[in-house]
Structures are given as C-alpha cells and as structure tokens.
Structure 1
Amino acid sequence: MKQPLEAAWESIRTGLRRDVGARTFDGWLKPAEVGSFDAESGLLEIAMPSQFMADWVSSHFGDRLKLAWTSALPLVTDVKIVAAPDAPRPSPLLILEDTPSAEPASTPAQASQLRDPSAPNFDPRYTFDSFVVGKANEVAATAARTLAKTDSVGFNPLFIHGGTGRGKTHLLHAIGQDFLARQPGKRVVSMSAEKFMVEFVRAIKENDTIGFKHRLRSADLLLIDDVQFIAGKDSTQEEFFHTMNEIINAGRRLVITSDRAPQDLDGIAPRILSRLSWGLVADINPADYELRLNIIEAKLDALPGVDMPCPVVEFLARRITNSIRELEGSLNRIAAYAMMTGRDIDVAFVEDVLANVLRANQRRISIDEIQTQVAEHFRIRKAEMTSARRAREVARPRQVAMYLSKQLTPKSLPDIGRRFGGRDHTTVIHAVKQIERLRAADAELDADIRLLVRQLEG
C-alpha cells in the first residue's frame, strides 16, 4: 500500500503548493506526512509535527485534503489530521514563537470560510456520470436528471425511496451539483431530515425561527435526505409541511429521499404524505445481477492498477447482494489488501478477505423454496413432498429436497422432518445419507443437484 499512498501524496502536495501559494504551503503543509491507513474503513491519517499545527491544518485545510485524497485514490474515504506520535506538546507561548506565522487573511482557506456557511458540501464523486443505471434504478435516475437539467419540470416534489445503500444519497448529491453547475447563481440547500429537526429546535431556543424559515424557503432547490427521521416529531412536521408548501407553491424544486414509500411511512402526518405523493415517487429496487456487474466494472475503472479477473468479478456480483454501498466497500477492501500483501486477486483470496461480508450476504433459502424448485425440476406436484406415497418417482425427489434442506438451511433435522409431512428426524438422516451415496455413483443425479443448488442460490 505504501507506493500508491506515496504517489498520491506527491501529486496532492504539488497541487496544494500551486493552489495555496509557496509561503502558506511551506509554513503549514510541507511538514505533513502520510500516517497510518485503515484499509477496512478507508481512513487515512495525516501526521503533523505538533498538536497545534494539526488543529490549524484540520480547521483550514481538512475539507480540501479529504477532497484531494478521495479524488486521487478512491481507496481513501476519509482523512484525519493528527499530531505525530512523538510530537512535542509545547506551551502556547512556545507555539507562537516556534511555529510559522499564520496569516489566514492571505490564504485561500480563509477566503473559503467567508462563503455562505449553509452552502451544501457535496461529495464530488457523487455525480450522474458515476451513477450506474439499470432496471432497478432507471426511473429514479431519469427523474433526477430531468429535475436537475431542465428549465421546467412536470413534477414537484421528487420523492426517491429505497433501502440502505442503494444510491439515494448519490442521486441527491448529483442533482445538487448538476443544478448548480448549470445555474451557478441559484441557491441550493441540502440537509438530512434529522439536521432539519435539530436546526429548527435550535432556532426556537435562539428566537431565530424567522431566519431558519427564510434560509430554507428561499432556496431554489431544497434537498432533504432520510425524511423518515421526522416521524413522531409533531412540531418539526408542522414546520416541514409549511416549508414544503412554500417551496412548491413558489415554483422552486424539492427533492426528498426515504427508506420507504410515502404510504409505508409510519408516524408522519397524512397531509405530509399526501403532499409527498403529489409529485413523482420513484423507487430504487435492489440491484440485480447485471447492474451489480456493471457497477463493479465501473468501480474498477476508478481503481487503476487493480487486476481483477472475470471469475472474481462474477463471483462478487453473484454473492454481494445486500447493497451497492457494501459492494463498493468490498471492492476497496479487496484492492487495499491486494496492494498491501502483493497477492493476486482470485476467488480464494476474495473469500478470505471478505469472509464476514459473504456470510452476511448469504441468501436465506427456505424449505418451501426448496420443495417448490425440486418439485418443478422432477415434474411432480409440490403436495407430494408431504404426502405418504412411497413410489420411487415421488420418494427420490422428496429425499433430494430433504438433502438440500439440510445443506442449504440452518434448520434442525426434526424441523426438516416436520416440514415433510411430519416425518421423523431419522427419515431425514436416511434421506441425506442416501443422496450422498447416490451422488457419488450417479453423475446424472449429481448434475441435477448441482443445477438445483445454483438455481436456489441465484
């Protein structure tokens, strides 16, 4: 991992020196060194010679360094500025005497602090170009592009919903960035529903509700993430409803995300749910195999030097199904471990590195699914799985289903027996042993079972 980090750091240092000027760079950023890197979390530490310098650089250049690192090396997802382990802890007087003179007014960092503090801090990686579109997210992606790019839209608000890690926040950031790029004079406000609630409560305590309302309701584009968090908060919902109405009635744009569809949100006032449903409701479904495959390939394009063979790509697309976020994190982890260990990336390596992730993604196959699939394969009625008939054309498929239930589910032998017409656990043991023996001797039956396993796991 040392070489990619050092190469990226050299490029970043060159860019920083050009952007902030030689004086500021030499005084504050030149002493910085690459510290430890956690491949699992993506956290990189940048070490400074003293705690004072670490605090100053973190305050003035923290966001800039994070942006530079995440852009230069996607394996890095966060940056923390720390004091070197052996850094001295001088008194405040010594710090002022011994450290370079800080002239914030002359630095670009100071200028950036003068911008609107409410301006959104969008992740530059989350763009429309980097969002991989498939059947699962096509409607949401198209609606998001339309709202961001066109002068007028036929729907408002846009409500995007889907489970964790499917790309809702990615689309939210993409909308904001594209909208501002096309209309730089417009005002965009982006926040989570939780932050909306916290800031509203603070405004009440500080007698500044007018300022809070003006800041949100004057936005040309308002982006609210995870609206489900205002459930049960009556006063927050009241303010949220009026904010929504003000934005929509003024012809400005509103985008809201949630982990559920409006009709499935509990604890939120009916009039809010009704208002949310007036616009376009677009869902993001779980990514299918083809979309997961395309996402992996797109992600690999951003990881230069990572050689991942097709069998590994297909293995990951088939096995990591919980969320896109988890899939991307797994790719980063594989790439980091491969760079650190120097090992080739093959399926065995991936199984070793992602053991916990693969276990968490293992699909829960039910006995009912097994019975259905086996009955269809052997062309018998599913009811025969629980019947008392002992004819060979029925008994053998039933034994196969018992065998697969033992192999593919965590159910106990007595539980399996009960699901097959109340049979004793010894019957299940006999079926398992019988199929194991037949698989070794009967190539056709072995092929049938392999096919059934692929169908059930796929």
Structure 2
Amino acid sequence: MSDIKEKIKKILIKNNFSEKTLKMWFDPLNIEKDEKKIYIIFQHKFLFDNYKIKFKDIIENEINLDFEYKIISLNTNNKILKNFKKKIKENNKNLNYDFTFKNFIYNKKNLFPIVSAKEICNHNSAKFNPFVIYGESSTGKTHLLKAIVNEILKNKHNSKILFINSDDLNNKYIVKFKRNHITFKQYIDNYDYLIVDDFQEVLNFDSLQKELVTIFDLFYEQKKQMIFSYTGKYLLLDRLDKKLKSRLEWGLIVNLKKPDLEIRTKFIRKFCDDKKIKLSNEQILILAQKFKNLRNIKGILLKILAYTQLINNNLREKEFFSILNTVQEKRADNLTFDNIIDIVADEMNLERDDILSSKREKKIVKARQVSMFLCRKLLKYSYPEIGKIFGGKDHSTVIYSVKKIQRLKEDSRFMKSLLKNLEQKCSSQEK
C-alpha cells in the first residue's frame, strides 16, 4: 500500500501542508487492503478526529477510491502523541501551521506592523503591551495573529496561548463561567498569552468589556503579552468602554493596510508557483488590477486551478476572462455614500446639505444626479436604496438621474472628465 500512501503525501504537499504538519498527521498513518476495501488506520481517535477536519475531503476528492477507517489504539504514552495532544489542548485547535511570517506577503507599506509582530515573538516578557492590529477586512490580520502564535510556539514550546475571537470569549464568560468574574479571570490567567481576534465585536458586549479591564490589569502587571486585532478604523476605539480604550492605548497600535497592486501581484505569482498554474505576466497584471480583495483573487485562482486540472491544462484567453467574470468584487468597505457626497460637494463647490436637500438650482440638481450615478456605479446600490439616501426619492427619479449622467458622459467631454476625476478620488478612499 506504499503507492497509495505516496499518492496521499503528494496531494498534501500540493495543497501546501508543511513538513511539520505532515510529520504530525501523515507519518503515523497505516494503510491496509483486503479483497474489497482499503483501510486507513489511525493510532488514536484523537488523530482520526483531526484528520476528518484537515485531510479527509482533500484526499477523497482527489483519489477515486473508497476508503474505510480504523482506529487501533497503541501505546498512549507515545511521546509524539502526548506532546501533540498537549499542544492542541493548550492552544487553539484551529491553528494552521501554514500561516507563518515567511508566507505573509508584504512590502514597505506594511513593514512596521510585521517588524513589530516579529519583535514580540523574540521576547520572553511582554513587549508593546498590548499590541493592537487594526485594518480593513481582508488585509491579513488573522494571518498575522496566527503567524505570531506559530512563531511563539516554535521558540517557546511550553507557552500557553489563548487564541480566541471576541464572540467565543463572550460565550465562555456567559455560558461556561455563568458571568462569574472570579472563575473567568482564573481561567484566562492560566495562559501566558491572550490573543483576541475580531476585537470589534466586544462593542456588542458591555459586560465583557468591563471584565477585560480587570483581565488587562492582571496581564499587564505580570508582564504577560496581550495582542488584539480588529476590523475598522482607529476611531473605533472611541466607542469602547473608556477604561478599556485607555488601556489599549498604553501599548502599540499599528495599521495593517490593504494589499496594493505590488502585493496582489506577488500573491498571484506565489500561488501560481505553488500550484503550478501557468499565467502570463499580462494575465497576472489584469487579475491584480481588477480585484483588490485577496479573498476574491484566491477564489478566482482556485477556479483556474480546477479548470486546468480537470478540463484543459492550457488556459486560453477566452476561458481566463470567462472565469474572471464569474466573480464580482464587493464594494469597498471604506467607500460609503457619505464619502461620495462629500467628494462631489467639494469638487463642485457646494455644501453636502445642498446635494441632500430638495433645492432645484441647476448646479445642485446636477451634483445630486452625479452623486446618484456614482452610488449606483461604485457601491452597486439598488435604485430604491439610493432614493432613500437622497430624501426618499422615488426609484424612477433615481433611474432617470443615472441614465441622464450616463448620456452626458458619452456626449460631453466635460462630464467624462469630471466623472473620471471623481472616481479617482473615490477610489483613493479604498487605500
């Protein structure tokens, strides 16, 4: 059965499972075959349960064989198994060892957050406490947190790390500890590191915010590292409990910026190299320019990978653009209708209140119609949504305005130039 095991190993390597992961999960596997079935045999139910999460679907999708599974418990004092179980229990079960600093793609724009994160991993006591990372969605905040965890575990194997998101932390406080602040504090104090992802969710949990102030003081006095990440702008901190906000500002707060064209291009090239996808320089640039969200880019690359593996290894231009058109970039979180109205008002020397009013002066009407056009084009808002923004206008009025600006764009050089300038200013809100 060594040939089947070798096939499985190649599949895992192709899917970017690290050597460390392979050693933990793959090496202990045994494969046997009788007249009817092929069995994958595990030395412990613990290994099988985690196999189902990490490997099962990948292997069964790529090898067209019916597998059965057996668990044959061997010596549970086996050192590797004991250490592995201990690490899983003490640290978050969802950590992926493929999230490292090495494969976090960045450039000078995000150099400071990366260097700061690495510095934290090199110190036995807390440095920059707390360390707070904020930024828009899909900037790599969770990847960076997991890279920190993996680096700490690599250097300090016995470290106990609580890596959790705000929602799960609140559930523990309410459900597991029944709002008992003493036992909740004791539970968290058992860890050497407190790392909380999606910290913006604590805005929904007033009682948890108050508990975190106490826990914060406990960790700070013991010089135990705290790390938080949240989605949003720096100003989000102003909405927190005042004491909690004050304590967060004791440490280092860094902004992880959206991946620019250089980063998106590097990401695509690395993915293509890893998965042996052949894209031309022009195709890579088109993909990097068209989509700003790495999740969307990865989704497209996976579609391309599936196409080249299942249908045709040589991706033609027609198929490339067909796959690109199956994914629509979501509107940018940073760009809002308020941004658009402010930009239009500033460009056309008006007050935003004029644009949102019912005034009928020609210049104001034109600015209002331009704003509606941009909300439709850049934010993909529906006509009724736009109507509500502009004082409850009927959707037919919005349709008329959008179509009128579209005609003017085609017929008037001035309007074409104005819209191009406005769109450039709106796009700068995404960066």
Normalising by the smaller structure, the TM-score range is: 0.5 to 0.7
| Pair 1:279-2:266 in alignment | no
Unpaired stretches in structure 2, ≥5 consecutive residues: 14-18, 351-359, 388-398
Q: Deviations over 1:137-164 (max 9, x none)?
A: 3332222111112456652100111222
**How big is the shift at 1:219?**
2.5
Instruction: Return closer, same or farther for 1:230/1:353 CA change in 2, 3 Å cut-off.
Output: same
Q: 1:301 aligns with which of 255, 273, 279?
A: 273
Give the match for residue 342 of structure 1: 312
Q: Deviations over 1:406-445 (max 9, x none)?
A: 9967799xx9xxxxxxxxx999989977986x89xxxx99
Give the match for residue 292 of structure 1: 264
Verify the 8 A CA contact 2:110 2:256 in the aligned structure 1.
yes
Instruction: Return closer, same or farther for 1:60/1:148 CA change in 2, 3 Å cut-off.
Output: same
Letter in 2 for 1:351: F
Q: 1:145 aligns with which of 96, 118, 123?
A: 118
Unpaired stretches in structure 1, ≥5 consecutive residues: 33-47, 70-75, 89-94, 390-397, 416-424
Letter in 2 for 1:284: L
Matches within 5 A, 1:10-409: 10-11=9-10, 25-26=29-30, 29-30=31-32, 59-64=46-51, 102-103=73-74, 105=76, 111=82, 114-115=85-86, 117-121=89-93, 122-151=95-124, 154-205=127-178, 210=183, 212-261=184-233, 263-265=235-237, 268-303=240-275, 305-321=276-292, 323-342=293-312, 344-345=314-315, 348-358=318-328, 360=330
Identity %: 17
- SS of equivalent to 1:138: helix
**How big is the shift at 1:108?**
7.8
Letter in 1 for 2:48: F
Q: Distance in 1 between matches of 2:404 and 2:71?
A: 80
Q: Distance in 1 between matches of 2:48 and 2:152?
A: 26
**How big is the shift at 1:272?**
0.8
Verify the 8 A CA contact 1:319 1:361 in the aligned structure 2.
no
Verify the 8 A CA contact 1:311 1:347 in the aligned structure 2.
no
**How big is the shift at 1:172?**
0.5
Larger radius of gyration: 1
- SS of equivalent to 2:162: strand
Verify the 8 A CA contact 1:230 1:236 in the aligned structure 2.
yes
- SS of equivalent to 1:231: helix
Q: Normalising to structure 2: TM-score of the pair?
A: 0.67
**How big is the shift at 1:67?**
5.2
Verify the 8 A CA contact 1:104 1:110 in the aligned structure 2.
no
Instruction: Return closer, same or farther for 1:207/1:160 CA change in 2, 3 Å cut-off.
Output: closer
Q: Distance in 1 between matches of 2:336 and 2:206?
A: 41
Instruction: Return closer, same or farther for 1:172/1:164 CA change in 2, 3 Å cut-off.
Output: same
Q: How big is the alpha-carbon RMSD for the aligned residues of Structure 1 and Structure 2?
A: 5.4
**How big is the shift at 1:267?**
6.1
